[in-house]
Structure 1
Amino acid sequence: MRADNSHHIVTAARRRATATRRRAVAAIRRMDNAGQPISFDAVAREGKVSRSWLYNQPDLRAEIERLRARREPAPGRHQVPDQQRASDTSLRRRLEVATERNRQLKAENRQLREALAVALGEQRAASIVGQLGDTPRKKSQPVIGPC
């Protein structure tokens, strides 16, 4: 008959479970102290434990969820305090001012394009009149024959 040595297996399993818990807790503390984002995946990688194991540990799961929620703004919460947020009225006024400025810039662009077209037309007309005149504007270069 063989002796029952199962207590050795149970002891080793308890040691592994304790070491796994220590690694996970240490990883959570390190990440929180360093200001790193806390997630199940990140803690599992940092602590070298499985995500499923983390999900099955109620106390660790609650701590990870608490730390994750603390770092992420809750949906519907605003980053800027309500007193510092722009009101709907001020936003509408800003939009009106921007729209009016846009109209002014469009009108100015139209005027500048028209002025440019007139100036280019006058320049073109002057160059044509200068080419048709009796005296050439430039003296032609003398023609050099063969040497």
Structure 2
Amino acid sequence: MRADNTAHLRSAAHRRSALAHDRAEAAFTDLQARNQPITVAGFARAAGVARSWIYTQPDLLERIHRSHELAPKRPRPSIPTAASDASWQRRLELAHTRIAELTAENKQLRHQLALAHGHLRSERVSPSKTPPTTQNHSSEATQTD
């Protein structure tokens, strides 16, 4: 019969959990000191723990939610202004210039590809190296006998 090792396993699990909780506490303190917004994902990354583990820790979740309530409200970004006609015109000019550049590049690449295909075809039709011919010496020997 095997020895009951569950007490050792339970003890190791408690130690791992305590270490994770200590890392989480240190990460929370660090994030607060840097005035960083605390999210579950960012908190998990900073503490080196899994997000799923944080969701099993009600005390940590409560602290995260409380930090959102206590955090100063950030102003919402202003509504973007519409681009001026001159700005749109400049964008169009740049786009047309880029299209012309790409068209010229495509033309050059197509030409290079056609040349490469031509070289390959000419190599297949008339290879520059001819394979060595094999002679059958035994047939010559029988003819002279």
Normalised by the shorter chain, which TM-score bucket?
0.3 to 0.5
Greater Rg by CA: 1
